Amino acid sequence: MTAVTLEDRFLFDLQGFLVLRDVLSPDECATLLDALRPLEAVDYPDEWMQSLPPGSSGRPTRETQIPHQTRLNGLPRLSDAFDYLIDHPRVLPYLREFVGEPQLINTWSISKDQGTPAGGWHRGIAPTDYSYRDEQIRSRMFNTVYFLTDNGPEDGCVVGIPGSHKNNIDLAWRDYKGLDMPGAAPATGRAGDVLLFSEAVIHDGLPKTTPGTRSNIYFNYVHAHYNVMMREPTNSHHFYFPEAIRARFTDQQRELTRWMELARWEY
């Protein structure tokens, strides 16, 4: 397993994100895309939604409300093709170094065609959930973004504000569109690269103005002490995998999803 270097620690602490190059081979990207495309065409019944309290709404498995964009939630429920990303050997050392005791909370994909607009600026956790103490970097939530296709600056790539995992003064970020946000820096890369970022970093997705489809897979982790089921109770379905799915996981993948043994969810 690759060790996390002092330079990695320096850069991650400084900007809140890193890009690892060539984590997936071109063949691996092609195989993952081949698995993803047919899943993006399915109309999912989402029967679990009937169990939600009246008046509340959860995210469907397939989201297409943003023009030219398809998002799938809960990937291991849909296919085993993505399982090996749970503990990818190039990424796992960073999870251990920057999260401490990582647990997988959320998995999704986003494919964007030409014409997809900018998303909206957001963050998953507050800057108080990022710390450096006793020489340990800790990000309570941590995202790993696998680029299955190139993420150039016009391809709808992720954009972040370097250093915002430690920022003290907030703007009304939702009032800013894409690169109009002060300090915004596109996180670009080639197919096979992986963006790692603290969810305390304020981030967004840029518009896709180029032809073709940009597809990324997002595996998001939290520290084991984070209460996963309380985060977004109406979306726990996508976070949680029943034992029938975890049964196919390796011991290490089971360890990284162990919270699921302690959660109650019937679907």
Ligand X SMILES: O=C(O)CCC(=O)C(=O)O
Q: Strands 213-223, 102-113: parallel, antiparallel or unpaired by DSSP?
A: antiparallel
Q: Which residues pair with 205 in a beta bridge?
A: 158
Distance from the Cα of residue 142 to its chain's centroid: 8
Smallest separation (angstroms) from ligand X to the CB of 168: 22
Point out which residues bind ligand X (CB under 6 A).
110, 119, 156, 158, 203-205, 216, 218
Q: CB nearer to ligand X: give 127 or 249.
A: 127
Smallest separation (angstroms) from ligand X to the CB of 202: 10
Distance (Å, rounded) from C-alpha 19 to C-alpha 75? 22
Distance from the Cα of residue 102 to its chain's centroid: 14
Specify the DSSP class assigned to residue 117. Answer: P
Smallest separation (angstroms) from ligand X to the CB of 119: 5
Q: CB nearer to ligand X: give 74 or 119.
A: 119
Smallest separation (angstroms) from ligand X to the CB of 188: 12
Residue nearest to ligand X (CB): 205
Smallest separation (angstroms) from ligand X to the CB of 123: 9
Kindly give, in sequence order, each residue whose CB lies less than 8 Å from that of residue 84, ignoring residues fewer than 6 positions away. none
Distance (Å, rounded) from C-alpha 182 to C-alpha 204? 13
Distance (Å, rounded) from C-alpha 203 to C-alpha 210? 21
Smallest separation (angstroms) from ligand X to the CB of 208: 9
Q: Are 145 and 216 in contact (CB under 8 A)?
A: yes
Q: CB nearer to ligand X: give 16 or 249.
A: 16
Q: Which residues pair with 72 in a beta bridge?
A: 62, 109
Smallest separation (angstroms) from ligand X to the CB of 248: 26
Q: CB nearer to ligand X: give 69 or 257.
A: 69
Q: CB nearer to ligand X: give 119 or 192.
A: 119
Distance (Å, rounded) from C-alpha 24 to C-alpha 207? 25
Q: CB nearer to ligand X: give 76 or 156.
A: 156
> Residue 115 to residues 146, 181, 205, 209, 211: CA-CA distances in angstroms?
22, 20, 13, 6, 9
Q: CB nearer to ligand X: give 176 or 254.
A: 176
Kindly give, in sequence order, each residue whose CB lies less than 8 Å from that of residue 143, ignoring residues fewer than 6 positions away. 124, 195, 196, 197, 198, 199, 218, 219, 220, 221
